[in-house]
């Protein structure tokens, strides 16, 4: 028995590694148009989260093409354990910041640190294991719903999968399916909506339970009510576990309660602060906020008129 258990354990860990690298591949595809040029240093170290996950950009510059700089001498701090939002006009480089943090690309100038460690000095595996991303669009594996959620942590029990699905507001939907958690999804399985996919991605992340969490327009396909409930659940998990989180968002209503809001423009920080502080400044944030509120109110009014009420 003893002799047998060793190779089995070994196989188990190979299997876990394989599953994990599939997960990373998945994230990789999601962050799109990625050129995998980064190299791990021969003496790469594992990430040590000894200050609770503080992320710093110090004078970072980056361009996909040399003639078109995207990030320009950007310095910003994402404090440990806080919920931080990155907002700004379309194309200002919000998703690029997440790709740099995940080290799909290396910065061309300056540095990015996590708890004081330059991410270029870290092993890619330890960096990416510490980060969980809910991207704009999550492709599902050709597998059951249960397995798709369990990719977050393949050692999770059925009960843990369900608990994660409940917090991600998708349990009730899954339960109503004829085959429940055994329903096949993915390209060859049942078609599910964008909003359901997003909630499966959040369930996965809840199971993975990484120290650093990034959300890239992660709830954009949900209706306002479901979105608010889901964001409330995510907030309570973040608070409970004191996780550092970064939310990239267009709709400011989804992030106005962040501890810190960083407003980007032309690849640099235009302004930062809390929602109230930024409204008081009457700058870019307040402009974006007022424009969106106006639209929101119009939609509300139109909605009521359309319903005849
Ligand atoms: P949005 O709010 O519209 O999602 P964003 O602020 O997240 O935009 P990014 O996706 O970071 O912006 O893109 C910043 C700029 O870099 C855009 O002009 C985009 O076209 C360009 N870009 C993004 N990815 C690549 C790539 N792989 N190669 C070349 N240019 C790219």
Nearest CA to 104 out of 42, 44, 17, 29 is that of 29
Q: Which residues of 7-24 are buried (b: 16+ CB within 10 A; e: fewer)?
A: eeeeeeeeeeeeebeebb
Most trustworthy range by pLDDT among 54-58, 99-103, 227-231, 297-301: 54-58
Mean pLDDT for the stretch of residues 212-216: 93
135 ligand 1 Cβ < 6 A: no
Closest CA to ligand 1's atom 29: 64
Complex ipTM > 0.90: yes
Mean pLDDT for the stretch of residues 53-82: 96
For the cut 70, the answer to whether the pLDDT of residue 302 exceeds it is no
CA of 222 to the centre of ligand 1 (A): 23
Chain segment 219-263, per-residue pLDDT in tens? 888 888 888 888 998 998 899 999 999 999 988 999 999 999 999
95 ligand 1 Cβ < 6 A: yes
CA of 94 to the centre of ligand 1 (A): 8
Chain segment 12-60, per-residue pLDDT in tens? 555 555 555 555 555 544 544 444 568 899 999 999 999 999 999 999 9
- Ligand 1: which of 38, 66, 92, 96 to mutate, most ligand atoms within 8 Å of CB? 96
CA of 268 to the centre of ligand 1 (A): 14
For the cut 80, the answer to whether the pLDDT of residue 1 exceeds it is no
What is the C-alpha separation between 68 and 155, in angstroms, rounded?
Answer: 45
For the cut 50, the answer to whether the pLDDT of residue 88 exceeds it is yes
Mean pLDDT for the stretch of residues 202-227: 89
pTM of the full structure: 0.83
Closest CA to ligand 1's atom 1: 90
For the cut 80, the answer to whether the pLDDT of residue 68 exceeds it is yes
Q: Of all atoms in ligand 1, which is nearest to the CA of residue 35?
A: 27
Average pLDDT value for the chain? 86
Confidence band (pLDDT; 50, 70, 90) for 173?
very high
Closest CA to ligand 1's atom 27: 33
93 ligand 1 Cβ < 6 A: yes
92 ligand 1 Cβ < 6 A: yes
CA of 95 to the centre of ligand 1 (A): 7
- pLDDT score of 229: 87
Nearest CA to 115 out of 41, 58, 59, 47 is that of 47
CA of 96 to the centre of ligand 1 (A): 6
- pLDDT score of 2: 44
Chain segment 140-160, per-residue pLDDT in tens? 888 899 999 998 888 999 999
Residues contacting residue 94 through CB under 8 Å, at least 6 positions apart: 86, 87, 88, 216, 248, 264
């Amino acid at each position: 028995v003893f002799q047998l258990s060793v190779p089995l354990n070994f196989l188990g860990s190979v299997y876990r590694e394989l599953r994990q690298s599939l997960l990373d591949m998945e994230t990789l595809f999601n962050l799109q148009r990625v050129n995998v040029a980064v190299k791990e240093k021969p003496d790469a170290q594992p990430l040590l989260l000894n200050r609770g996950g503080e992320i710093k950009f110090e004078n970072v510059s980056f361009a996909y093409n040399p003639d078109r700089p995207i990030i320009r001498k950007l310095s910003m701090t994402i404090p440990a354990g806080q919920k931080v939002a990155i907002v700004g006009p379309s194309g200002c480089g919000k998703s690029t910041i997440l790709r740099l943090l995940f080290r799909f690309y290396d910065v061309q100038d300056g540095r990015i640190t996590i708890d004081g460690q330059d991410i270029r000095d870290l092993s890619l595996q330890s960096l990416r294991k510490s980060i969980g991303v809910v991207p704009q669009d999550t492709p599902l594996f050709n597998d059951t719903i249960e397995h798709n959620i369990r990719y977050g942590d393949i050692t999770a029990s059925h009960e843990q999968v369900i608990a994660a699905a409940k917090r991600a507001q998708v349990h009730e939907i899954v339960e109503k399916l004829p085959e429940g958690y055994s329903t096949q999804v993915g390209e060859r399985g049942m078609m599910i909506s964008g909003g359901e996919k997003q909630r499966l991605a959040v369930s996965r992340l809840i199971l993975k339970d990484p120290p650093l969490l990034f959300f890239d327009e992660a709830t954009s396909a949900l209706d306002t009510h479901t979105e608010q409930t889901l964001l409330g659940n995510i907030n309570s998990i973040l608070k409970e576990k004191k996780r550092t989180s970064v939310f990239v968002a267009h709709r400011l209503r989804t992030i106005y309660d962040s501890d810190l809001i960083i407003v980007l423009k032309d690849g640099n920080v235009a302004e930062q602060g809390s929602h109230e502080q930024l409204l008081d400044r009457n700058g870019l944030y307040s402009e974006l906020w007022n424009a969106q509120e106006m639209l929101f109110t119009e939609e509300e009014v139109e909605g009521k008129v359309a319903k005849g009420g």
